[in-house]
Amino acid sequence: MDLGLSGRWALVCAASKGLGRGCAEALVKEGAHVVITARGAEALEATAEALRSLNPAVQVRAVAGDIATPEGRAAALAACPQVDVLVNNAGGPPPGDFRDWDRTTWLAAIDANMLTPIELIKATVDGMAARGFGRVLNITSGAVKAPIDVLGLSNGARSGLTGFVAGLARQPQLAGRNVTLNNLLPGAFDTERLHKTLVAGASKNGLATEEFAQRRKQSIPAQRFGTAAEFGAICAMLCSAQAGYLTGQNILLDGGAYAGVF
Ligand code: NAP
């Protein structure tokens, strides 16, 4: 199926690695031009080169910077001639005990995982509406549906974004102009971030990392971790021309880990 993304411009935040990179790869394969961001310039440039070789017909621009800062966002937006597709992403907040978190810690999490996507949405959706096409996809977390105790910063900040998006997506001046906003909720995906949490979890439980990872996989009905390529493919589908009637949704991609009906 032609997803109707050829020639569109996509801004994919936090995309030198992991899920963001998976989204950029899928969009590039569908013929979209992309602007990708990350803080580390070296890995970002390497990813940009890999994307160019996936589809030499598209433009790939790499903007090094922290997307959670006003300067980082301004540079990313300036590099994108028009934003038809916005994939919001940033590193997740650290785990811990809420008794140890002060106001500064909370503000950093809220800045990166709630206010940054809202700022980028604010900068782009009215232009999308004027042109009659727009897709906003926020990478959040399965923890929005099933909060994880030690990820309180993530649970809190991402829930704030989720509530905000649920309201905004239903504005007729957006939904009625073919601008959709949805959240994609990853469960366990095989990325650097997951690997770090596995190493930490294994050491806490006195197990080898591989043994701990096996147990974790066995707790997921799919019996494995997801891949960034699978995540990217769903992202491209949700950003497709065909997905114009799908908005304001929270789509869980977790191999069946969440056991609820809704
Ligand atoms: P990852 O493998 O660690 O990759 C994170 C990417 O984001 C890197 O390219 C990183 O590059 C970039 N990045 C991080 N902070 C940034 C910032 N402030 N500004 C610009 N770029 C930034 O992580 P991932 O597994 O793909 O996770 C992506 C998001 O999904 C995170 O918010 C994570 O919490 C969430 N999530 C992941 C999983 C999972 O199983 N993987 C599950 C639930 C939720 P630099 O470090 O160079 O900036």
> What residues make up the domain containing 13?
9-187+227-253
Q: What integer pLDDT is reported at residue 259 of this predicted model? A: 94
- Residue 216 CB–ligand 1 contact under 6 Å: no
Q: Are residues 122 and 216 in the same domain?
A: no
- Residue 145 CB–ligand 1 contact under 6 Å: no
What spacing in Å lies between the alpha carbon of 38 and ligand 1's midpoint? 9
Q: Are residues 47 and 151 in the same domain?
A: yes
Task: Tell me the pLDDT band of 46, cut-offs 50, 70 and 90.
Answer: very high
Question: For 62-110, what is each residue's pLDDT tens digit?
Answer: 999 999 999 999 999 999 999 999 999 999 999 999 999 999 999 999 9
The residue contributing the CA closest to ligand 1 atom 44 is 141
Q: Are residues 160 and 201 in the same domain?
A: no
Q: Domain containing 155 — which CATH number? A: 3.40.50.720
Q: Are residues 221 and 231 in the same domain?
A: no
> Strand runs (DSSP E) across the chain, as ranges?
9-12, 33-38, 60-64, 85-88, 134-139, 179-186, 250-253
The residue contributing the CA closest to ligand 1 atom 20 is 38
Q: Are residues 130 and 65 in the same domain?
A: yes
Number of domains forming the structure of the chain: 2
Q: Are residues 198 and 103 in the same domain?
A: no
What spacing in Å lies between the alpha carbon of 172 and ligand 1's midpoint? 32
Q: Are residues 212 and 128 in the same domain?
A: no
- Residue 157 CB–ligand 1 contact under 6 Å: no
Q: Are residues 206 and 235 in the same domain?
A: no
The residue contributing the CA closest to ligand 1 atom 18 is 66
Closest among 13, 15, 76 to 45, alpha carbons compared:
15
Is there a contact between 222 and 188 (Cβ–Cβ < 8 Å)? no
Q: Are residues 156 and 200 in the same domain?
A: no
Rounded to two decimals, the pTM is 0.98
Q: Are residues 18 and 54 in the same domain?
A: yes
Q: Are residues 151 and 209 in the same domain?
A: no
- Residue 37 CB–ligand 1 contact under 6 Å: yes
Question: For residue 218, is it within any domain?
Answer: yes
- Residue 89 CB–ligand 1 contact under 6 Å: yes
Question: For 18-38, what is each residue's pLDDT tens digit?
Answer: 999 999 999 999 999 999 999
